[in-house]
């Protein structure tokens, strides 16, 4: 009878002489992962420093590069033009970014799978055109037209997901076809006129023009945000402590809360120096909080990350790969439709240029620049906020300096390329450190 050599080797107990490291360089470069909560508990502020050094060695940069980059952008443009950090300019930036940012949130979901959706620009234009035709030309209640437009975006995304997940067509090819088809659909819906003006006092019109003028609104929202963050962090740590697993000490929670409070109240003060708290920004942040909760706190979100790591391993773990893939593309289509409505609100019309130009590039670039990996399995919806802030800040800064449009494209491309290179280097560093 033959003996399985593999099984025999598994049963064999190695002696001291057999403990040989095959790759001493990789072993020496590896970094032992330690839960940061334990470091903070045991070493206090020194624990933060040790954890920071460990992450740098392991290539776990997170959002640090984009935050540093955003700070550099602000300093450079403020030195060039003192109006860059004015309340009006900052408020305009945070309102303008919402349309592209919403689309980018959907892109984050798709990138987490390691896929791409090239149709989001056209879907956003088609959704805004559909809402405009139904509300203005057909006399529908505006809320119903908006609801149908968003549902249509979700259905379009699900259709793309069906071709990809069920029929096995590459997502790149499916969504590229979708880009062309829905662009044609938009032009057909708009008809010969090509432009439909929206009521500036209507539901869509107020998405980007309504401001909560009362100073209590901005400060009140800041108080709510800080209070909710502290309570959720505190209660979460209490549950972890009761379960006997690592938790952050109270001092750590307080420090994080104070930092959030500084940012929140500074933003509130800035908004109150101009028109007040923008409705568009409030809606955007609400969507970011909701989608971040879905990705990080639900089993559905964990399934998305699992698929981005390994499809086959996810399938063997019992995850319905087909359903998750279709749902992710449906989410992408839905956010594309919502973003299209915000973009239409910004120009108070739906026209033939909607969803075209550099919109698709900016939406994808925002997700990648913000820190979402092109290789799947790593990212957060907050990356869309950071990335779109970088892109729109560059656009506004160059506009203040009257820089030509071609230069804007080249600078944005350079930022995107730098981000992708950093992502690639980070992944290599993680593999060397045994963290990938």
CA-to-CA dists, residue 222 to 212, 266, 315, angstroms: 13, 9, 43
In tens, the pLDDT along 84-123 reads 999 999 999 999 999 999 999 999 999 999 899 999 999 9
Phi-psi region of 145 (alpha: psi -120 to 50; beta: other; left: phi over 0): alpha
Q: CA 118 to CA 95: how far, in whole Å?
A: 24
pLDDT of residue 237 exceeding 70, the answer is yes
pTM to 2 decimal places:
0.83
286: its two tokens: 């609400």
Task: For residue 183, name the pLDDT band (cuts at 50, 70, 90).
Answer: very high
CA-to-CA dists, residue 363 to 101, 116, 132, 275, 377, angstroms: 7, 11, 23, 27, 19
Q: Which residues contact 174 (CB under 8 A, 6 or more apart)?
A: 160, 163, 164
Highest mean pLDDT, choosing among 179-183, 345-349, 428-432: 179-183
Q: CA 83 to CA 77: how far, in whole Å?
A: 9
CA-to-CA dists, residue 164 to 115, 170, 224, 321, 361, angstroms: 10, 6, 42, 11, 22
| Contact of 149 with 175, CB cutoff 8 Å | no
Q: CA 74 to CA 83: how far, in whole Å?
A: 11
| Contact of 139 with 296, CB cutoff 8 Å | no
Q: Which residue has the higher pLDDT, 405 or 44?
A: 405
Q: Mean pLDDT score of the chain, rounded to an integer?
A: 83
Q: CA 64 to CA 128: how far, in whole Å?
A: 35
- CA torsion 39→42→44→45, rounded to 10°? -40
């Amino acid at each position: 009878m033959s003996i399985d050599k593999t099984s025999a080797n598994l049963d064999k107990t190695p002696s001291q002489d057999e403990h040989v490291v095959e790759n001493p360089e990789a072993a020496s470069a590896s970094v032992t992962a330690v839960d940061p909560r334990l470091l903070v508990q045991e070493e206090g502020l020194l624990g933060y420093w040790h954890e920071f050094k460990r992450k740098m060695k392991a290539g776990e940069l997170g959002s640090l590069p984009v935050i540093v980059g955003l700070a550099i952008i602000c300093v450079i443009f403020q030195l060039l033009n003192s109006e860059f950090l004015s309340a009006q300019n900052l408020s305009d930036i945070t309102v303008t970014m919402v349309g592209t940012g919403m689309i980018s949130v959907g892109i984050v979901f798709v990138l987490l799978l390691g896929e791409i959706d090239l149709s989001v620009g056209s879907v956003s234009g088609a959704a805004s055109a559909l809402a405009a035709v139904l509300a203005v030309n057909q006399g529908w209640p505006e809320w119903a037209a908006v609801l149908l437009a968003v549902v249509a975006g979700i259905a379009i995304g699900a259709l793309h997901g069906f071709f990809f997940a069920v029929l096995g067509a590459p997502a790149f090819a499916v969504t590229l076809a979708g880009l062309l088809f829905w662009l044609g659909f938009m032009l057909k819906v708009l008809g010969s006129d090509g432009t439909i003006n929206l009521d500036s006092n209507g539901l869509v019109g107020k998405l980007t023009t309504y401001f909560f003028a009362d100073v209590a609104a901005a400060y009140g929202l800041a108080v709510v945000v800080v209070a909710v963050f502290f309570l959720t962090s505190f209660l979460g740590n209490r549950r972890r402590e009761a379960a006997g697993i690592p938790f952050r000490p109270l001092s750590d929670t307080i420090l994080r809360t104070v930092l959030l409070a500084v940012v929140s109240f500074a933003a509130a003060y800035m908004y109150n120096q101009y028109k007040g708290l923008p409705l568009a920004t409030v809606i955007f942040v609400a969507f970011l909080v909701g989608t971040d909760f879905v990705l990080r706190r639900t089993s559905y979100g964990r399934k998305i990350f699992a698929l981005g790591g390994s499809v086959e391993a996810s399938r063997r773990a019992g995850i319905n790969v087909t359903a998750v893939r279709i749902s992710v593309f449906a989410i992408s289509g839905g956010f594309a439709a919502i973003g299209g409505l915000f973009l239409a609100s910004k120009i108070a019309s739906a026209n033939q240029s909607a969803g075209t130009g550099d919109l698709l590039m900016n939406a994808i670039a925002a997700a990648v620049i913000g820190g979402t990996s092109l290789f799947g399995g790593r990212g957060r919806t907050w990356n869309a906020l950071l990335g779109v802030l970088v892109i729109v800040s560059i656009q506004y800064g160059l506009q203040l300096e009257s820089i030509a449009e071609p230069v804007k494209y080249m600078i944005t491309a350079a930022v995107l390329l730098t981000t992708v290179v950093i992502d690639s280097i980070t992944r290599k560093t993680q593999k060397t450190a045994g963290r990938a």
